[in-house]
């Protein structure tokens, strides 16, 4: 009881303090904070026991404590425990009342929990502890390129062009100044807000809509390393002109917005040359806009300062002019080059310069186009004209447009913009919606597989062998249209892309489908292969999580570094290393057809275990292809190495048995583990540890484990049955 | 710290064991007298246990049956091991709620979770952040509270450490403040915290109703079945009395306590109690 003279406040934060204070009368002075909570608990829990008794209990020996603890949880507490374990939520008062009335937790109640959707979700979540699904360690660029709006995520304010708002007064600034219908007055009919006042949707022919679009930024790709410098010149984050709209490559005769040739090719009259210039070349590749601002002439020193008089970057500078007593840098009819420099005429085309030393000044900028890329939720958004190109291959080389080809002016973001991912910028650390959707879906995929197996009461190990998987709209877009151009984590589509479900990008629900025959449950999902990026990491996780046999170093330690035995290149035979690697290497062969640091399947047709072409380039010193360098032994520094030239990395040092395992895939490893019973025992142990909160003791391992495994086997590896067997075991119901 | 934790967990077990001796749990045997190697009592009474007609007609109730016969397993097939050979640890180890369970439990018991204004970093805004007036704080501090991200942290930590204690206190105070405020605003029949009492009911005016409500809250928060006159409620009664009748103070300025203050204090006490935070 609280002594009446104890001062108290009514701060909520003191509620616990007051309780504790009420219990401290009998506890020793200076006892730690947690002890106070302990005593509070003891007082509350051991009903009727005086505080002094509870305090004495803390000093009692283990036996005494055990005697107090040695009991089943009371039914309502047991029900709460079951609910938290099996459903991840606390029991409701109504449920607890039902338990009170029944006087016990009935089997029907347990079954109701086990049969609930919440249990399926919760048990699938348990598998995150085994599979560690997190691909944050990987850069994942769907389509290969990232697209920004000058350091801002292009998804921001995506709906502004299509938005009308109803503020009473026209706001002076902010988004409301573009959308408030009250801004559109008879005296200002081209105000941006008039766009959606006069039209039901964005109308490119309405001057108000044009004005509105000009108020927003245009998205452009970040490029590789130097930003978009190679393409547009300048500082590297130039982008196009947000206020200059480009027409489509071909303009209909009915469209009077643009000047056009008879064949529909749009043109304009250059402000600089007064001649007819085109927005696109004959291949429909955008051209920079020919005027002083978009294609400025610049200056070059009369004599190069580089080796042999070569011109280097320092030899170039911008034109200047004096305006109102101040020097203004940049091209202009009144600008000129300073003494010692000569003017360089900017060709204003897509050609590359000779030495590329002048890229900082040889700026070439185009305008924007209004598009609705796949990530825009159906909204119109501004995309720079180079990026707006939809072709799949370069018109100059015929090669596939990839991130590496970004210097190619004819390569843009592809059909529907799928080669470009919205991003904050090159150094962004915050994920955009499109990036989050993909990461989340890839991380969740293995848990969806597990959930489906448990929900359908299938053999639990189907989760590790099934070809069935699930796909969302973002994943469908990724596999079908973006995976051939991935940057960062490379991903092979799980089946022929044409056979994959076509799920609308905005649809984030899961749709079931069947993957290729090479797939094996969660073990070949991108999340597993990426999270455990090497063959050794994959078998290590498998052995640790599913067989409960982690690799451990030898108790005797490793041999000295200068021991000659360390020269053995095969880790499965090298002294010390062989302790683990004699198991790791043979078992890792099951993932040999899945490339390391990626989720790429190396199909035997395209990736034979030995490639004579790769061997030839390796042994003759020719340049090997990227494919050879990435997947085959091409480094032949010594005679031993040359013996293996042209061998698929995963086939290196493999025995015939191991080669067979490579072709069988990880599903065969699971089948083997099931046949020996090892995996069932581990599953049971893992589940026991989760639910009972401790590992089995020796006695339980001898007496309880076999019985639980038998129950599991008898149910055809039904996960619910195993969970039921554990939560109905006496050990689960007794709280120590 | 670890020894204190062990003590806490030991007595959490004691909580379950000793409580079986209370009149509220007549079906459970007195555990303290059970011999160590005796097969464990079946939780559910035998099928012959009579049930009242009311039980049979109440949704959610069920006739207890032998779990073995219902589920294909054999009772006693997984016997308890010998406590003497296993340091007395033969049952389930009590544990702290993990973050998701804590959030769900808070929501279930109080009706709201811990929400506070917070600046959230996000690429969805041009500024790179936004101010969320109702940020889900338990999600924001989930890593701190031990939730794994499977990248830097691959296993869940459920240590009831000082940081957990601090953050749970914050969560309880804010959630209970919001929860009680919301509850008072609800129609009488829809209240979840002040279920059997009125807003103005005090110990002096309606002690029985206050005791009934406390027993109800103990069930709601702790899943413990106690009677209104059970001594286990005495501390909570005292807390309610003190908080609801505290005089106004000048420095710091505080208004005089009201019954609503009392229920808020009780809510915080129930939420920060190990019986709520462990299972």
d(CA B42, CA A75): 11
Q: Which chain A residue shows the shortest CA-CA distance from B192?
A: A93
Residues A365, A256: Cα–Cα separation, whole Å? 25
Question: Among A544-548, A566-570, B54-58, B152-156, which is the least confidently predicted range?
Answer: B54-58
Tokens of B241: 């009395």
The answer to whether the CB of A486 falls within 8 A of the CB of A418 is: no
Tokens of A79: 């029900």
Low-confidence ranges of chain A (pLDDT < 50): 1-70
Helices (H), ranges, A24-88 = 33-45, 51-59, 62-69, 75-87
- pLDDT tens, B222-260? 999 999 999 999 999 999 999 999 999 888 888 999 999
Q: 3-state SS of chain B: helix, strand, coil percent to 5? A: 45, 5, 45
The answer, yes or no, to whether ipTM is higher than 0.85 is no
User: Which pair of tokens denotes residue B37?
Assistant: 């190697």
| CA angle centred on A235, ends A231 and A236, rounded to 5° | 50
Beta bridge partners of A513: A469
Provide the whole-model pTM: 0.84
What CA–CA distance (Å, rounded) separates A25 from A47? Answer: 18
Contacts of B94 in chain A (CB under 8 A): 693, 735-736
The pLDDT assigned to A406 comes to 66
- Put simply, the answer to whether A12 touches B123 (Cβ < 8 Å) is no
- Contacts of residue B45 in chain A, CB cutoff 8 Å? 103-104
Beta carbons of A434 and A377 less than 8 angstroms apart: no
Q: Is residue A276 less than 8 Å (CB to CB) from chain B?
A: no
Sequence-distant (≥ 6) Cβ neighbours of residue A698 within 8 angstroms: none
- Mean pLDDT score across all residues of chain B: 78
Residue A143: its pLDDT value, please?
85
Cα distances (Å, whole numbers) of residue A424 to A81, A372, A437: 45, 19, 15
* Nearby residues of B106 by Cβ (< 8 Å), 6 or more positions away: B112, B113, B114, B138, B171, B172, B175, B271
Residue A170 burial by CB count (10 A; 0-12/13-18/19+): exposed, middle or buried? middle
Residue among B61, B173, B238 minimizing CB distance to A98 = B61
Residues B146, B99 contacting (CB under 8 angstroms): yes
A-to-B residue pairs, Cβ atoms closer than 8 angstroms: 422
Task: Give the Cα separation of A512 and A503 in Å (integer).
Answer: 11
What is the separation of C-alpha B239 from the centre of its chain, rounded to a whole number of angstroms?
17
**Neighbouring C-alpha atoms within 13 Å toward the C-beta of A212:** 40
What SS3 state is found at A256?
A: coil
B13-48 burial string, b = 16+ CB within 10 Å, else e?
A: bbbbbbbbbbebbebbeebbebebeeebbbbbbeee
Radius of gyration of chain A (CA): 35
Q: Are A45 and B78 in contact (CB < 8 Å)?
A: no
Distances (CA, A) of A372 to A158, A202, A378, A416, A417: 10, 12, 6, 7, 8
Chain B residues within an 8 Å CB radius of A24: none
**The two three-digit tokens of residue A68, written as one number:** 């107090």
pLDDT of B62 strictly over 90: no
If one compares A581 and B77, the residue with the highest pLDDT of the two is A581
Between A245 and B32, name the one with better pLDDT: A245
| Contact between residue B103 and residue B138 where contact means Cβ atoms under 8 Å apart | yes
8 A C-beta contact, residue A310 and residue A296: no
Cβ-defined contact of B105 to A699 (cutoff 8 Å): no
Cβ-Cβ contacts under 8 Å, B257 against chain A = 10
The Cα A385–Cα B217 span in angstroms is: 65
Contact at 8 Å (CB) between A340 and A302?
A: yes
Could you tell me the CA-to-CA distances from A470 to A467, A511, A717 in Å, in that order?
Answer: 10, 5, 22
* Whether A156 and B226 lie within 8 Å, measured CB to CB: no
Among B residues 46-65, those touching chain A with beta carbons less than 8 Å apart: 49, 51-52, 54-55, 58-65
**Alpha-carbon torsion A641, A642, A645, A647, what sign?**
negative
Does A326 contact chain B (CB < 8 Å)?
A: no
Is A286 in contact with A389 (CB distance < 8 Å)?
yes
Give the model's confidence band at B30: pLDDT under 50 very low, under 70 low, under 90 confident, else very high.
very low
Query: Out of B49, B225, B239, whose CB is closest to A19?
Result: B239
Beta-bridged to residue A322, according to DSSP, are A327
User: Do residues B260 and B178 touch, judged by C-beta distance below 8 A?
Assistant: no
Task: Inform me whether the C-beta atom of residue B2 falls under 8 Å from chain A C-beta atoms.
Answer: no
* Dist. CA B220–CA B223, nearest whole Å: 6
Count the Cβ atoms, other than its own, within 10 Å of residue A339: 6
Taking residues B170-196, report their average pLDDT. Answer: 97
B103-130 average pLDDT score:
95
- Dist CA A693 CA A710 (whole Å): 22
Q: Which residues pair with A148 in a beta bridge?
A: A220
DSSP string for A227-242: TTHHHH-TTS-----T
What pLDDT shows up at residue A299? 97
Kind of pairing between the strands at A145-148 and A420-422 = parallel
How confident is the model at residue A227, as a pLDDT? 57
B24 CB neighbours in chain A (<8 A) are 74
Residue count of chain B, please give it. Answer: 279
Nearest CA in chain A to B86: A697
User: pLDDT at position A708, please?
Assistant: 97
Q: What share of chain A is helix, strand, coil (3-state, %, to 5)?
A: 40, 10, 50
DSSP A465-532: T--EEEE-HHHHHIIIIIGGG-EES-B--SS-GGGS----TT--S-EEEE--TT--GGGGSHHHHHHS
Question: Where on the phi/psi map is residue A479: left (φ > 0), alpha (ψ -120 to 50), or beta?
Answer: alpha
d(CA A447, CA A622): 46
**Residues of chain B contacting A111 with CB distance shorter than 8 Å:** 70-71
Encoded tokens for A503: 């799920």
Please tell me the distance from the alpha carbon of residue B94 to that of residue A692, in angstroms, as a whole number.
Answer: 8
Classify B107 as helix, strand or coil: helix
* Residues, chain A: 736
């Amino acid at each position: 009881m609280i002594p009446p003279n104890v001062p108290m406040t009514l701060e909520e934060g003191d509620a616990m303090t007051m309780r504790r204070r009420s219990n401290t009368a009998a506890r020793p002075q200076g006892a730690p904070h947690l002890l106070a909570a302990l005593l509070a608990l003891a007082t509350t829990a051991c009903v009727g026991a005086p505080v002094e008794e509870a305090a004495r209990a803390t000093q009692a020996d283990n036996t005494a404590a055990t005697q107090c603890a040695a009991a089943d949880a009371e039914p309502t507490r047991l029900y709460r425990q079951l609910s938290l374990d099996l459903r991840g939520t606390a029991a409701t008062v109504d449920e607890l009342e039902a338990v009170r009335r029944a006087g016990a937790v009935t089997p029907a109640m347990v079954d109701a929990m086990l049969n609930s959707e919440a249990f399926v979700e919760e048990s699938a979540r348990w598998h995150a502890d085994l599979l560690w699904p997190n691909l944050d360690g990987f850069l994942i660029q769907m389509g290969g390129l990232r697209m920004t709006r000058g350091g801002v995520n292009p998804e921001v304010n995506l709906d502004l062009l299509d938005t009308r708002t109803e503020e009473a007064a026209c706001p002076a600034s902010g988004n409301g100044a573009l959308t408030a219908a009250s801004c559109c007055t008879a005296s200002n009919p081209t105000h941006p807000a008039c766009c959606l006042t006069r039209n039901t949707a964005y109308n490119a022919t309405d001057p108000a809509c044009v004005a509105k679009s000009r108020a927003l930024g245009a998205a452009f790709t970040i490029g590789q390393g130097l930003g978009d410098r190679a393409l547009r010149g300048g500082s590297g984050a130039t982008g196009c002109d947000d206020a200059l709209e480009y027409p489509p490559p071909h303009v209909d005769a009915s469209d009077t917005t643009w000047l056009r040739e008879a064949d529909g090719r749009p043109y304009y009259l250059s402000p600089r040359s007064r001649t007819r210039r085109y927005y696109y070349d004959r291949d429909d590749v955008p051209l920079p806009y020919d005027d002083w601002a978009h294609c400025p002439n610049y200056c070059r020193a009369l004599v190069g300062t580089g080796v042999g008089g070569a011109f280097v970057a320092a030899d170039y500078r911008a034109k200047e002019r004096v305006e109102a007593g101040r020097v203004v840098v940049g091209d202009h009819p009144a600008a000129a080059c300073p003494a010692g420099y000569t003017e360089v005429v900017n060709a204003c085309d897509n050609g590359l310069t000779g030495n590329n030393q002048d890229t900082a000044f040889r700026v070439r900028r185009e305008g924007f186009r209004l598009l609705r890329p796949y990530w825009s939720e159906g909204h119109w958004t501004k995309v720079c004209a180079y990026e707006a190109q939809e072709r799949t291959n370069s018109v100059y080389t015929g090669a596939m447009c990839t991130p590496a080809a970004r210097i190619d002016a004819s390569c843009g973001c592809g059909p529907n913009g799928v080669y470009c991912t919205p991003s904050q910028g090159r150094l962004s650390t915050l994920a955009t919606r499109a990036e989050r959707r993909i990461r989340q879906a890839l991380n969740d995929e293995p848990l969806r597989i597990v959930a489906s197996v448990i929900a359908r009461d299938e053999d639990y190990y189907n989760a590790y062998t099934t070809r069935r998987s699930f796909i969302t709209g973002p994943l469908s877009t990724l596999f079908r249209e973006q995976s051939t151009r991935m940057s960062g984590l490379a991903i092979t589509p799980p089946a022929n892309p044409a056979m994959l479900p076509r799920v609308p990008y905005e649809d984030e629900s899961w749709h079931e489908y069947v993957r290729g025959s090479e797939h094996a449950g969660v073990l070949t999902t991108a999340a597993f292969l990426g999270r455990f990026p090497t063959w050794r990491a994959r078998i290590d996780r498998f052995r640790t999580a599913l067989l409960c046999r982690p690799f451990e170093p030898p108790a005797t330690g490793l041999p000295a570094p200068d021991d000659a035995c360390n020269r053995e290149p095969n880790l499965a035979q090298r002294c010390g290393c062989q302790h683990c690697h004699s198991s790791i290497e043979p078992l890792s062969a099951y993932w040999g057809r899945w490339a390391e640091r990626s989720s790429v399947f190396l199909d035997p047709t395209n990736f034979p275990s030995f490639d004579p072409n790769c061997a030839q380039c390796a042994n003759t010193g020719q340049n090997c292809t990227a494919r050879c360098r990435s997947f085959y032994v091409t480094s032949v520094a010594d005679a031993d190495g040359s013996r293996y030239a042209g061998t698929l990395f995963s086939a290196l040092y493999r025995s015939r048995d191991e080669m067979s395992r490579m072709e069988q895939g990880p599903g065969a490893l699971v089948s083997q583990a099931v046949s020996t019973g090892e995996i069932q025992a581990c599953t049971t142990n893992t589940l026991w540890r989760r639910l009972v909160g401790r590992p089995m003791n020796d006695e339980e391992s001898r007496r309880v484990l076999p019985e639980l495994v038998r129950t599991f086997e008898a149910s055809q590896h039904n996960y619910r049955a195993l969970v039921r067997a554990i939560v109905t075991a006496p050990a689960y119901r007794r709280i120590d | 710290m670890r020894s204190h934790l062990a003590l806490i967990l030991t007595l959490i077990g004691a909580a379950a064991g000793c409580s079986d001796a209370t009149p509220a749990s007549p079906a459970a045997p007195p555990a303290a007298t059970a011999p160590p190697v005796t097969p464990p009592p079946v939780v559910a009474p035998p099928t012959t246990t009579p049930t009242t007609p009311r039980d049979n007609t109440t949704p959610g109730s069920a006739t207890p049956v032998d779990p073995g016969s219902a589920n294909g397993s054999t009772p006693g097939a997984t016997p308890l091991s010998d406590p003497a050979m296993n340091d007395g640890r033969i049952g389930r180890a009590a544990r702290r709620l993990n973050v998701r369970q804590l959030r769900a439990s808070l929501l279930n018991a109080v009706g709201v979770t811990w929400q506070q204004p917070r600046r959230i970093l996000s690429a969805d805004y041009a500024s790179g952040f936004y101010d969320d007036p109702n940020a889900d704080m338990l999600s924001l501090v989930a890593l701190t509270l031990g939730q794994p991200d499977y990248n830097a942290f691959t296993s869940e930590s459920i240590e009831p450490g000082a940081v957990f204690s601090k953050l749970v206190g914050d969560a309880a105070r804010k959630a209970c403040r919001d929860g009680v405020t919301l509850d008072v605003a609800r129609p009488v029949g829809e209240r979840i915290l002040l279920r059997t009492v009125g807003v103005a009911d005090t110990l002096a005016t309606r002690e029985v109703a206050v005791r009934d409500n406390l027993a109800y809250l103990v069930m709601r928060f702790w899943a413990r079945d106690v009677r209104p006159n059970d001594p286990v409620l005495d501390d909570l009664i005292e807390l309610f009395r003190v908080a609801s009748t505290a005089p106004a103070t000048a420095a710091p300025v505080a208004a005089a306590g009201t019954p609503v203050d009392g229920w808020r204090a009780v809510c915080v006490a129930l939420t920060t109690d190990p019986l709520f935070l462990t299972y």
